Structure 1
Amino acid sequence: MSVHHGVVHRPAAILVSDRLVLRRWEEKDIDAATQAIRDSHDHLLPWSLLAVGDSHDVAANLVTTAHSEWERDEAYKYAILVEGLVVGGCGLMRRAGPGGLEIGYWLHGGWTGRGLVTEAVAALITAGFALDGVTWLEIRHDAANLASAGVPRRLGFEEVELQTAPNAPSPRMPGESGVVRVWRKTRPYPRRVGPGAGPRGRGPVRAVDWLHGAMVQEVDAGAQQLDDPGGAQSAHRQGGQAAGRVKKWRGLGLPVRQDTQQLPGRTLPPESRLVDPQPTT
Structure 2
Amino acid sequence: MERPRRIIACGDFVLRCLREQSDVAPACTLIEESLEHLRPWEPWVARHSEKSTRDFLAKSEPNWASGDVYNYAIEIAHDLYNTSSAAVPRRLGFTEVLREQATRPAAPAGSGIDVVWRLHRPTPPVDGPPCP
Does residue 2 of structure 2 align to residue 9 of structure 1?
A: yes
CA drift at 1:11? 0.7
Structure 2 length as normaliser, TM-score? 0.57
Change (3 A) 1:90 1:54: closer
**How many residue pairs align between the two structures?**
92
Match of residue 20, structure 1, among 10, 13, 29: 13
Determine which structure has more spread, i.e. the larger CA radius of gyration: 1
Query: How far apart are the structure 1 equivalents of 2:17 and 2:124?
Result: 11
After superposition, the Cα gap between the structure-2 partners of 1:10 and 1:36, relative to the gap in structure 1 and judged at 3 Å, is same
* 4+ aligned runs moved over 6 Å, structure 1: none
Gaps of 5+ in 2: 78-115
Q: Distance in 2 between matches of 1:21 and 1:49?
A: 28
The residue number in structure 2 matching 1:77 is 71
How do 1:98-177 residues align onto structure 2 when only pairs under 5 Å count? none
**Alpha-carbon deviations, 1:171-215, whole Å to 9, x = none?**
xxxxxxxxxxxxxxxxxxxxxxxxxxxxxxxxxxxxxxxxxxxxx
Say yes or no: does 1:46 pair with 2:22.
no
Q: How does 1:243-254 map to 2 (within 5 A)?
A: none
Q: How far has the Cα of 1:92 moved from its partner?
A: 7.1
> Given the alignment of the two structures, is residue 55 of structure 1 paired with residue 87 of structure 2, yes or no?
no
CA distance in 2: counterparts of 1:9 and 1:54, whole angstroms:
33
CA distance in 2, matches of 1:14, 1:24: 7
Cα distance in structure 2, aligned partners of 1:21 and 1:50: 27
The amino acid of 1:30's aligned partner reads V
Q: Cα distance 1:82–1:75, how it changes in 2: closer, same or farther (>3 A)?
A: same
* 1:223-234 alignment runs, 5 A limit: none
Structure 1, unaligned runs of 5 or more: 1-7, 97-168, 170-276
Equivalent residue of 2:74, what SS? Answer: strand
Answer 1 or 2: higher relative contact order, Cα 8 Å, separation at least 6.
2
Offset of 1:30 from its aligned partner?
0.7
Q: 1:56 to 1:82 in 2, by over 3 A?
A: farther
Residue type matched to 2:14 in 1?
V
Structure with the higher helix share, 1 or 2 = 2
Q: Deviation at 1:64?
A: 1.4
Q: For the residues of structure 1 that align with 2:8 and 2:30, how far apart are their CA atoms? A: 20
Structure 1 Cα separation of the partners of residues 56 and 71 of structure 2: 9
TM-score (norm 1): 0.29
Report sequence identity in percent: 24
Q: CA deviation at 1:19?
A: 4.7
